[in-house]
């Protein structure tokens, strides 16, 4: 146990702040917590080890040992697989600890890859990387639930994203849409939901939060085929889903470093709006976007819109105290602006700039009201970036630009200073 804590307890005890009983309870609590600690460390190292060994085997086999006979190579293809299956089976049958299950599951995951890789190599089986990853993921997916394994679940999401990128970001003539990515991810969701239910505050759960947000953000672009201007709308709706998810009771009061949905939803929307604040982007959208419902881009944007809207309604219904947060409605406003942009690029540009400014100001207000410097400066940053970006399109003299920069910098300093002062006064 941490000696600092022990010292503190004895100090509190000496000064009669806490009773002997409380002191024993605290000591016992931390002791029990500590007991599970080396276990967790073991798991991490077990999974890391299994990953390295598994990848190592794949690399060794990828060398292609062409002086070995076909029979020997075929046998070699099965050895790692069978060993991994035996170890995993043993840890299920003997009800071994989670360390066993996580490590053996990870190893089995890579052994499956090694096995089908070697077989494809021996028989020159055609098929690109996408189809190979597909087989691999399908064969490994049940491991998540059978071994109750977080590591395998993470690997499946990572490899499903890899698969989606491989298929969707291939700008050759065979640009396919990775619909099966959705199936894979949905198949992992029950496991994630269970984690949310049993241990919403665990570090591992927050890893999953980030994993899903990053995966969706990266992969969504793979679903854009030819109607790319609608991609802006798709991303705006996705960030709307994220932000509103982040406001759900289960995530809402978590620290920002755990709540990836709020962070990515908010940052993503702001970055997207900054891109859309340039008139040239809207000019392109005006010419090239097709809002026909049968295009997959419009379909996905609509699905994401409905999803975001439903989550918004749900959070509003659950809210005890009525509160208004502009960020939650940004996706709605962007959707309206987008449809204006189809008809009139200038109007859409102006509206986007106004929206960005209002968002920035509302963040400044939230920051000032709650005394959170991070939110305050985030708002200032948004406003500043609108001003800086407009320097590129609007033709004004250098001296005016220079003066504006000085003014913005001074604004940063002043707002922070004023708030610091107010906070000090309040503390007094």
Query: What CA–CA distances, in Å, run from 416 to 272, 361, 413, 422?
Result: 27, 14, 5, 10
Concatenating the DSSP letter of every residue in 17-75 gives SS-HHHHHHHHHHHHHHHHTHHHHHHHHHHHHHHHHHHHHHHHHHHT--TTS-HHHHHH
The Cα–Cα gap between 380 and 387 comes to: 11
How many C-beta atoms lie closer than 10 Å to residue 407's C-beta?
A: 10
Per CB under 8 A, the list member of 27, 85, 362, 385 interacting with another protein is: 85
Q: Is residue 95 close enough to count as binding another protein by CB under 8 A? A: yes
Per CB under 8 A, the list member of 23, 26, 53, 119 interacting with another protein is: 119
Q: Is residue 237 close enough to count as binding another protein by CB under 8 A? A: no
Residue 75 or residue 418: which is nearer to another protein going by CB?
Answer: 75
Per CB under 8 A, the list member of 132, 210, 278, 309 interacting with another protein is: 132
Q: Is residue 115 close enough to count as binding another protein by CB under 8 A? A: yes
Task: Give the SS3 label for residue 290.
Answer: coil
Q: Backbone phi, then psi, for 293, in 5-degree steps?
A: -65, -25
Q: Is residue 93 close enough to count as binding another protein by CB under 8 A? A: yes
The Cα–Cα gap between 91 and 85 comes to: 10
Residue 140 or residue 308: which is nearer to another protein going by CB?
Answer: 140
Site track 139-168 with another protein (rule: CB under 8 A), x = hit:
x--xx--x----------------------
Please count the residues of the chain: 428
Q: Is residue 77 close enough to count as binding another protein by CB under 8 A? A: yes
Per CB under 8 A, the list member of 76, 117, 156, 345 interacting with another protein is: 117
Concatenating the DSSP letter of every residue in 239-275 gives HHHHHHHHTSHHHHTS-TTT-HHHHHHHHHHHHHHHH
Q: How far is the CB of 152 from another protein (least distance, A)?
A: 12
Residue 138 or residue 214: which is nearer to another protein going by CB?
Answer: 138
Q: How far is the CB of 321 from another protein (least distance, A)?
A: 42
Q: Is residue 72 close enough to count as binding another protein by CB under 8 A? A: no
Identify which range of 31-39, 122-130, 286-294, 418-426 contacts another protein by CB under 8 A: 122-130
Burial of 313 (0-12, 13-18, 19+ CB in 10 A): exposed
Longest dimension (CA), the chain: 83
Q: Is residue 399 close enough to count as binding another protein by CB under 8 A? A: no
| 127 Rama class: left (phi>0) / alpha (psi -120 to 50) / beta | left
Tokens 């004023």 -> residue: 418
The residues near 2 (Cβ < 8 Å, ≥ 6 apart) are: 30
Residue 82 or residue 347: which is nearer to another protein going by CB?
Answer: 82
Q: What share of the chain is helix, strand, coil (3-state, %, to 5)?
A: 80, 0, 20
Site track 177-196 with another protein (rule: CB under 8 A), x = hit:
--------------------
Choose among 392, 396, 393: nearest CA to 346: 393
Residue 95 or residue 395: which is nearer to another protein going by CB?
Answer: 95
Q: Is residue 63 close enough to count as binding another protein by CB under 8 A? A: yes
Identify which range of 134-142, 198-206, 237-245, 267-275 contacts another protein by CB under 8 A: 134-142
Q: How far is the CB of 20 from another protein (least distance, A)?
A: 43
Q: Is residue 78 close enough to count as binding another protein by CB under 8 A? A: yes
Residues binding another protein (CB under 8 A): 58, 61-66, 74, 77-78, 81-82, 85, 88-89, 92-93, 95, 112-113, 115-127, 129, 132, 135, 139, 142-143, 146, 173-174
């Amino acid at each position: 146990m941490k000696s600092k804590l022990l010292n503190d307890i004895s100090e509190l005890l000496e000064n009669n702040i806490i009773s002997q009983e409380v002191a024993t309870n605290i000591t016992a609590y931390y002791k029990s917590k500590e007991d599970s600690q080396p276990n967790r460390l073991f798991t991490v190292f077990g999974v890391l080890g299994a990953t390295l060994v598994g990848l190592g085997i794949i690399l060794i086999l990828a060398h292609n040992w062409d002086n070995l006979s076909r029979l020997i190579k075929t046998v070699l293809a099965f050895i790692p697989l069978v060993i991994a299956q035996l170890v995993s089976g043993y840890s299920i049958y003997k009800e071994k600890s989670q360390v066993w299950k996580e490590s053996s599951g990870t190893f089995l995951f890579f052994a499956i890859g090694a096995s089908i890789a070697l077989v494809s190599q021996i028989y020159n089986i055609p098929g690109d990387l996408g189809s190979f990853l597909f087989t691999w993921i399908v064969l490994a997916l049940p491991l998540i639930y059978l071994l109750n394994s977080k590591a395998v679940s993470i690997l499946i999401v990572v490899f499903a994203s890899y698969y989606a990128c491989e298929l969707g970001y291939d700008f050759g003539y065979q640009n396919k849409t990775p619909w099966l990515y959705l199936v894979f991810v949905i198949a992992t969701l029950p496991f994630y939901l269970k984690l949310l239910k049993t241990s919403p505050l665990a570090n591992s759960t927050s890893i999953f939060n980030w994993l899903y947000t990053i995966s969706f953000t990266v992969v969504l672009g793979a679903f854009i085929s030819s109607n790319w201007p609608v991609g802006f709308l798709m991303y705006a709706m996705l960030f709307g889903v994220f932000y509103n998810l982040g406001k759900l009771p289960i995530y809402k009061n978590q620290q920002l470093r755990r709540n990836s949905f709020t962070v990515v939803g908010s940052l993503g929307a702001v970055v997207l709006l900054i891109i859309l604040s340039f008139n040239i982007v809207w000019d392109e959208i005006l010419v090239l976007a097709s809002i026909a419902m049968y295009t997959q881009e419009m379909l996905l944007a609509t699905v994401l819109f409905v999803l975001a809207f439903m989550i918004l309604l749900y959070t509003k219904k659950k809210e005890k105290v009525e509160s208004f947060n502009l960020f939650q409605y940004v996706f709605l406003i962007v959707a309206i602006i987008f449809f204006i942009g189809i008809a009139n690029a200038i109007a859409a540009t102006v509206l986007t700039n106004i929206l960005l400014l209002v968002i920035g100001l509302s963040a400044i207000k939230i920051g000032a009201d709650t005394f959170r410097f991070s939110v305050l400066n985030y708002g200032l940053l948004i406003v500043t970036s609108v001003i800086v970006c407009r320097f590129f399109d609007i033709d004004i003299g250098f001296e005016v630009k220079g003066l504006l920069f000085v003014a913005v910098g001074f604004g940063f300093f002043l707002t922070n200073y004023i708030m610091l002062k107010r906070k000090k006064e309040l503390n007094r």
